[in-house]
Amino acid sequence: MPRSTTANSATMRDVAERAGVSVATVSRVITGAAKVQSDRRARVEAAMHELGYQPNHLSANLRNQRVRMIATVVSQIDDPIVSELVQAIQRAASQADYGMLLCTTGDVASTEADQLRGLARQRVAGVVLRSCDPAAPEISELLDLGIPVVALDRTVRDRRGDAVVIDHVEGVRRATQHLLEQGHRRVGFVGGSRDIEPDALRLVGYEAAMREVGLDPITSAESSRMGGGWLGAAKMLDRHRDLTALIAGNGQVALGVLDTFRDRGIHVPDDLSLLVVDDPFWCGLVEPRITTFAAPVQRVGSSAVRLLMRRLENPTAGQRQVVHELELRERRSVATLAG
């Protein structure tokens, strides 16, 4: 008869009694942390089976002062790029035998702070943070508790954490150069909000490339969502009728840009060339397939988990930063202009 107070749930103690061994031995069998005589091991395994024993990690967590879970904090996941990223993180975590807690912030700093505070209380093993508030004190509190934080794609002020960096400036610089090489001169950049770090950096990369060849940048930065792309493209096309190519600063904005194109009956690439930064799945499926410059999202996600796991194993390891570059995925949305 189990003595456990939790309804119909055997404990290690029940198993130990049934197998005629100590709870220490049962624990050793389960964790595999130490050798146990094979006949005792067999008795323990039989007892576990007979009792339908399910280990209770709650107590192990307390004892070990850690949960085998990492947290991923992002704005929202109903953006194909983000869900691809989260998926990659989840897979990598799962392979390392860690669960993944998903937190969304809607890019609202106070929500992010709430989430981070909750993660501290839960003592998650680590957090992958695509932050909207680099200076949040909650980040430091996590670090103070010994919970590693990996900054993903967005800087964090507290420099104790590792980081996965995407080189947006250089990537978009090269993206712009790609258009210039195809003979385009009047190239506009419909970007996301300047308040969002990667979007701001992309704008910088574009401007750099244009200025390097003595051209005036033509930019818009309404918002990082679809509506911003729609509005930005509309205004830009009104003001600059001689544009031959547009760069959409991210996947959401690109959807809006395409909407504007449709409103006006603009055909890609005959009327206007289009290059998208980021490569959501639909860019490879629409007609015409869209040329993109994109980070290797899967690898970005697994890098983050790798950094986290490394620090979990060695909390005092030197601070590390992994940089990923954007890569050209050439498709059919960019026309080559005659000399």
Partner DNA sequence: CTGAAAGCGCTTACAG
Per-residue x/- track, 274-293, a second copy (CB under 8 A): -------xx--xxx------
Bridge partners of 293, per DSSP, are 277, 328
Give the helix ranges, DSSP H, for 5-103: 12-19, 23-31, 38-51, 57-64, 80-95
CB of 56 to DNA, least distance (A): 4
User: Within 10 A of 91 (CB to CB), how many other CB atoms are there?
Assistant: 15
Q: Taking CB under 8 A as the rule, does residue 308 contact a second copy?
A: no
Query: Would you say 259 and 226 are in contact if contact means Cβ atoms under 8 Å apart?
Result: yes
Return d(Cα 231, Cα 220) in angstroms, integer.
Answer: 9
Query: Would you say 197 and 227 are in contact if contact means Cβ atoms under 8 Å apart?
Result: no
Using alpha carbons, select from 216, 219, 227, 266 the residue that is nearest to residue 247: 219
Q: Taking CB under 8 A as the rule, does residue 57 contact a second copy?
A: yes
CB of 258 to a second copy, least distance (A): 7
Report the site for a second copy in 145-174 (rule: CB under 8 A). Answer: 145-146
Give the residue, chosen from 4, 83, 87, 122, that forms a contact with DNA under the rule CB under 7 A: 4
12 binds, among a second copy, DNA, none (CB under 5 to 8 A by kind): DNA
Q: Is 134 exposed, middle or buried (0-12, 13-18, 19+ CB in 10 A)?
A: middle
Q: Taking CB under 7 A as the rule, does residue 22 contact DNA?
A: yes
Q: Considering beta carbons, is residue 115 or 302 the nearer one to a second copy?
A: 115
Q: Is 224 exposed, middle or buried (0-12, 13-18, 19+ CB in 10 A)?
A: buried
Give the residue, chosen from 28, 130, 306, 331, that forms a contact with DNA under the rule CB under 7 A: 28
> Phi first, then psi: what are they for 136, rounded to 5°?
-55, 125
Bridge partners of 323, per DSSP, are 165
Question: Which residues lie near DNA (CB under 7 A)?
Answer: 4-6, 9, 11-13, 21-28, 30-31, 33-37, 40, 53, 55-56, 58-60, 62-65
Which residues of the shown chain bind a second copy in the complex (CB under 8 A)?
6-9, 52, 54-59, 61-62, 65, 67, 69, 76-78, 80, 83-84, 86-87, 90-91, 94, 99-104, 115, 118, 120-123, 141, 144-146, 255, 258-259, 262, 281-282, 285-287
